[in-house]
Chain A
Amino acid sequence: MAGETQADGGRHPLFMPAILLGGVVFGFGLGLSQMYRPEVVLRFLQLSDMGLLLVMGGASVVAGTAFALLSRTGRTAPLTGTQFGKRVKSMDRNVVLGGGIFGVGWGISGICPGAAYASLGVGNVAILYALLGMFAGAYLQGFVRSTDDTAATSTEEPA
């Protein structure tokens, strides 16, 4: 798995700065694209402004191009030694069930995790309600699934 804590505590000294820089650019983009405003996301979901398609389309084309080109080189990432690969998640019914529950929540609130972090940065303190809810929801599913795990071992792949 990429980016895990090494047994000797040794990570490349530029590892955390690279993560921070990526986060800053990512957050600035969420600001510029106005996705930090639930109102703008809700306008898309109400089908009155299709801007969100440009945001997600632009972001996934840039990311997808880099993933494809770097994966093809067969090389490893300079700061971790991790082999460049694509994002692979296993398919099961939770992918659809979770997507459906997320969809209801997104349709009610107009906010998703990354956009909520950026929104907090812009100074939108009301978004703390959404962040509180997200942590509560993540805890709730984790609590239920921890109980499940005592009966059946989790077979999920690393994130």
Chain B
Amino acid sequence: MLAETLLPNGWLHYLLGGLLIGTGTVVIYATTGITAGASTFLESTLSYVSKQSRFQQFRFTSTRDWRVVFTLGIVLGGAIYGLAFGEFGWTTEVQWWRLLFGGVLVGVGTRLGKGCTSGHGVCGVGSLSETSLLNVATFVGIAVGTAQVVMALGVTP
């Protein structure tokens, strides 16, 4: 079966999870008009502690409080899921240096590229924005290539 080759771990939880991610985005959009992305939180939160002019822009300082609330909501949603489905306390086996150094590049790239998997990937693709479609095609393509190289080098997990 083609489906079992492409989706060896099932499909329903992926689809339902995706629909919920979209629904969370819509809850915020329908009430506030905001198309929220997750990575802006990194810079808007840095504006609390850094005087760098990049972070002190009005677009960060004027939205940093609700971005903290949005992120706490995501953390809380993850906790509710973990407790409800008996996965609370699960820990990744991906090595720490991959998380740390990959994370640094994610921090640089998402902020330089004006968005991440939620801002460009969900909101931007949903808006059929050419900027977002180009960004998503770039990061997915590069990420597939990078993951292939890492795997070929024998790094697991």
Count, A-B residue pairs, CB within 8 A: 571
Known A-B contacts A87-B132, A113-B41; A159 and B63 likewise in contact (beta carbons under 8 Å):
yes
Q: Which one of A57, A90, A117, A145 contacts B75 once the chains associate, using CB atoms below 8 Å?
A: A117
Q: Say if the beta carbon of B1 comes within 8 Å of chain A.
A: no
User: A130–B32 contact, CB under 8 A?
Assistant: no
Residues from chain A with Cβ under 8 Å of B112 in the complex: 94, 97-98, 101, 141
Distance in angstroms between the alpha carbons of A1 and B64 in the assembled complex: 13
A-contacting residues, B17-56, CB 8 Å = 17-43, 45-46, 50, 52-55
Residues from chain A with Cβ under 8 Å of B13 in the complex: 32-34
Known A-B contacts A28-B81, A33-B17, A132-B100; A138 and B74 likewise in contact (beta carbons under 8 Å):
no
Q: Say if the beta carbon of B154 comes within 8 Å of chain A.
A: no
Known A-B contacts A28-B20, A30-B17, A58-B15; A95 and B85 likewise in contact (beta carbons under 8 Å):
no
User: B14–A52 contact, CB under 8 A?
Assistant: yes
Known A-B contacts A16-B69, A99-B113; A107 and B144 likewise in contact (beta carbons under 8 Å):
yes
User: A121–B21 contact, CB under 8 A?
Assistant: no
User: B21–A136 contact, CB under 8 A?
Assistant: no
User: B43–A138 contact, CB under 8 A?
Assistant: yes
Number of interface residues of B (CB under 8 A): 130
Residues from chain A with Cβ under 8 Å of B59 in the complex: 1, 158-159
User: B117–A115 contact, CB under 8 A?
Assistant: yes
**CB-defined interface of A67-90 with B at 8 Å, one 1/0 digit per residue?**
100100000111110111111111
Q: Which one of B19, B31, B121 contacts A62 once the chains associate, using CB atoms below 8 Å?
A: B19
Residues from chain B with Cβ under 8 Å of A52 in the complex: 14
The 11 sampled A-B contact pairs (Cβ below 8 Å) are A30-B74, A38-B92, A46-B147, A62-B126, A95-B113, A105-B106, A108-B98, A114-B39, A133-B101, A134-B103, A141-B111
Further contacts, 19 of them, CB under 8 A, given A80-B34, A123-B88: A4-B62, A28-B80, A39-B92, A45-B146, A58-B19, A67-B35, A76-B33, A82-B33, A102-B116, A105-B102, A105-B103, A108-B146, A109-B102, A118-B77, A120-B78, A127-B92, A141-B107, A142-B55, A159-B60
